[in-house]
Amino acid sequence: TIVITGVQGQIGTELVQALRKQFPSSFLIGIGRSALRPQSMCMDRYFRLDIGDRRGLKALAERYSIQTLYHLAGILSAKGEGHPHQCWSINLEGLRNILELARELAIKVFWPSSIAVFGPHTPKELTPQWTITDPTTFYGVTKLTGELLCQYYNHRWSLDVRSLRFPGILSYQTLPGGGTTDFAVEMHLAAQAQRRYTCFVEPDTCLPLMYMPDAIRAIQEIMDAPATALRVNTSYNLAGFSATAAEIAQAIQQHRPNFTCNYAPDFRQIIANNWPHSIDDTAAQVDWGWQPRFDLQRTTADMLSHLTWRTDHVGTGSF
Ligand code: VAH
């Protein structure tokens, strides 16, 4: 049995589909906070469960013998600043509940970390795997603490827990919510709906980004790697491509020449300013063979082609 928490989230929506293909005969359980069962027919069962509900999690784990758990439930950076209490309980207490459960029942765990573990004193260009981590956001603090917690459970209890430091992820199926890198996705949606976009960071803001198919494949590859190959027990640096907000707008304009973007930075500018521009993921390349496939141009072309489908059939996005 495989369990995915945060199954209705940006990554969960697509990971569940990928795992269905990868493990056709496994029993797939999705956990989310919504009362409605998600549309996706990929999973065998859906449970509405709060990640803070330890008894509920335990009961579920005992009823179905869980081998692998992808713990994706979490609050992103911008939302975390406004809701620090919720951010702490979901991102950290939730993770600890999962790690405890995994320790007791010997479950293999995947947990996403983020480039938000880095801060103002971290080198911004090709940020190394091992470097200064001084996050300035509440979200970043929970991710850094979470990484240390994962490493602790691995060293102390030999728990098989694997983690990636994701950059901003672009996707078209489920939109991100409450992140600082959301503008990269929102820009595509606006262009597709033939609307002007007001970007909440300056045009020269450069951030590490990744397209969802690469993010999903990275999760599958690190989970498939032999445990002995994995020398990083906190979380692996992971690079896709890097782009400024203006470069994303230009890439979109190559397909949608009428698209216009103006810039009105808000509090998220400061968050973005403290994050790296590009990531050195040599450790991931060496230990488990990581290679991204999507650059900005391929990402934008693919995003726009799928959003056409979405606009035609489902209506004009939900931003
Ligand atoms: C955020 N996308 O913006 C997330 C992320 C790269 C940062 O973890 O909060």
Residue 29's identity, in one-letter code, is: I
Q: How far apart are CA 77 and CA 83, in angstroms?
A: 10
Q: Please name the residue whose Cα sits nearest to atom 7 of ligand 1.
A: 168
* Of 72, 143, 166, best ligand 1 pocket probe by most atoms within 8 Å of the beta carbon: 166
Q: What pLDDT score does 40 carry?
A: 66
Q: What pLDDT score does 37 carry?
A: 72
Q: Which residue has the higher pLDDT, 314 or 14?
A: 14
Q: What pLDDT score does 51 carry?
A: 94
Integer-rounded Cα radius of gyration of the chain: 19
Confidence band for 312, pLDDT divided at 50, 70 and 90: very low
**Cβ 199 vs Cβ 244: under 8 Å:** no
Known catalytic residues? Answer: 139
- For the CA of 178, the closest atom of ligand 1 is 9
52 CB-near residues (< 8 Å, 6+ apart):
89, 90, 93, 94, 97
Confidence band for 309, pLDDT divided at 50, 70 and 90: low
Nearest to 111 by CA among 225, 223, 250: 223
Q: Please name the residue whose Cα sits nearest to atom 4 of ligand 1.
A: 179
Q: Please name the residue whose Cα sits nearest to atom 5 of ligand 1.
A: 168
Q: Which residues pair with 236 in a beta bridge?
A: 164
**Model pLDDT for residues 204-230, shown as the tens digit of each residue:** 999 999 999 999 999 999 999 999 999
Residue 112 has pLDDT above 90, yes or no: yes
Q: For tokens 């990275």, what's the residue?
A: 218
Q: What pLDDT score does 56 carry?
A: 95
Q: How far apart are CA 271 and CA 279, in angstroms?
A: 17
Look up the pTM and report it: 0.95
Q: How much distance in Å is there from the Cα of 225 to the middle of ligand 1?
A: 25
**Model pLDDT for residues 3-45, shown as the tens digit of each residue:** 999 999 999 999 999 999 999 999 999 999 888 776 667 899 9
Range of weakest confidence among 9-23, 40-54, 231-245 = 40-54
